[in-house]
Amino acid sequence: MTDTTPPLHITAEHRELLAHILDTWSMEVLNRLCENPCRFNQLRRAIPAVTQKSLTTTLRRLERNGIVERTIVHTRPVAVEYAITPLGKTLRAPVEELLRWSARHRSAIERARTRFDTQE
């Protein structure tokens, strides 16, 4: 049986966007924001390994791409809250499928890595 699926046409724009939303910190932030909107420091506490600079950069990048929205909360002191957008929510299903794929094939990938590493 032959595969008749046409090859994907992957452009620089595709690679750039996927790099923005599938990197380590973006995935962590999106995972947290899927549950509830969060303030910056709540995200910092929830993701202790991320630096302030990396979290700021990640949030700005996600906001620029329309995945996260930033809202000023008029409290004393004034705060900023981040929430996932409707567009961002559409990422959940494909990301969950990638995670399921990863879980299903983890042992095969580990075997391939071991074979590769022992050949060098």
Confidence (pLDDT) at 8 = 85
Contact between residue 73 and residue 79 where contact means Cβ atoms under 8 Å apart = yes
Q: What is the CA radius of gyration of the chain?
A: 18
Confidence (pLDDT) at 2 = 61
Q: How confident is the model at residue 60 (pLDDT cuts 50, 70, 90)?
A: very high
DSSP summary character for residue 10: -
Q: Cβ contacts of residue 32 below 8 Å, gap of 6+? A: 38, 43, 46, 47
Q: Is the pTM above the cut of 0.85?
A: no
The token pair that represents 100 in the structure block: 């399921």
Collapsing DSSP to helix, strand or coil, 112 comes out as helix
d(CA 29, CA 68): 9
Q: Considering the chain, what percentage of its residues have pLDDT values greater than 90? A: 76
pLDDT tens, position by position, 73-107: 988 888 899 999 999 999 999 999 999 999 999 99
Q: How confident is the model at residue 46 (pLDDT cuts 50, 70, 90)?
A: very high
Pick the CATH number of 13-89 from 1.10.600.10, 1.10.10.10, 3.90.79.10, 1.10.10.60: 1.10.10.10
| Greatest mean pLDDT among 2-6, 55-59, 78-82 | 55-59
Q: Is the dihedral of CA 67, 70, 71, 75 positive or negative?
A: positive
